[in-house]
Every structure is written in structure tokens, then in C-alpha cells.
Amino acid sequence: MIQRIQTVYLALAFLVTGALPYVFPLWTISGKPFYFMENMPYVILFGLSTVLSLLAIFFYNKRQHQFVIGRLNILSNVILFGLLAYRTLTVSGGAPVPEKGIGLLLPIVAIVFVALANKAIKRDEELVKSADRLR
């Protein structure tokens, strides 16, 4: 399980969506940082992404399930990033403009790690299929 590269990528995606949102604010408005915990949809989507990463790690012996969970994780991160981008780009008339934080990039980093994990899962699946053909 741990010796496979996709487990490392999924663990990094887990870290990016599970721990780093507590450290880095999404944006700053008038000097006050805005963390993901202040809005329920962000909490749900970050939590979903974290759980999907962890679930994919434990499905190490079922590569097809792991691949599908990775795709769902990418989809949840795309939705999360879209929601964050929409929130930062739509500012009401008199509201101060938010200063974007590094937390906005966390879904993109998670997407990259999960995509790399899916690529490695696919490579493992092809290797197993080729080994089965030789028997």
C-alpha cells in the first residue's frame, strides 16, 4: 500500500485538503483573514475531498474503485474551485475587494495530486493486465 506512488500522491492530496485549509486563509477582507470554516459549502466540499482521498488510499487493492474515487475527488475539487472563484470575483457594490490568499489554490494543487495518482493507478492496471496476458 505505502510503497505505491499513487498512495503518496493521495496522501499529499489528503494533506492539502485536510490540513492546509486550517493554516492558509482563502482571502483577506480589510485585514481580516477568511478561512473555509466560516462558510458551510466550503466545509462540506473540503471535507468531501479529504474523505475521498482517504477512501482512495484504503482501496489500494481495488484499482478500479480507486480510480473512480479519484475522478469523484477531482470533480469535487473542480466544484470547490469554481465556487471559490465565483465568490471572489463577484463583489457587491459597496463591499471591500477581497485580497486573494494562497488557500484559493489548494483545490488546484489537490487536483494535480489526484490526477497524478489516477495516472499511476492506470499504469498499474495496465501492468497487471499485461502480466495476465503472459500467463
Res. 11: pLDDT tops 80: yes
Tell me how far CA of residue 21 lies from CA of 15, 53, 85, in angstroms: 9, 15, 16
Q: Is the pTM of this model over 0.85?
A: yes
Find residue 24's DSSP bridge partners. none
Taking only the tens place, the pLDDT of each residue in 56-96 is 999 888 889 999 999 999 999 999 999 988 888 886 666 67
Q: In what order do the strands lie in the sheet with 32-34?
A: 32-34, 27-29, 99-100
Nearest Cα to 11, choosing from 1, 22, 21, 26? 1
Q: What is the pLDDT of residue 50?
A: 95
* CA dihedral over 25, 29, 32, 37, signed as positive or negative: negative
Q: What is the mean pLDDT of the chain?
A: 88
Residues 114 and 77 sit within 8 Å (Cβ to Cβ)? yes
The continuous run of DSSP H or E covering 97 comes out as none
Q: Which one-letter DSSP state was computed for residue 38?
A: G
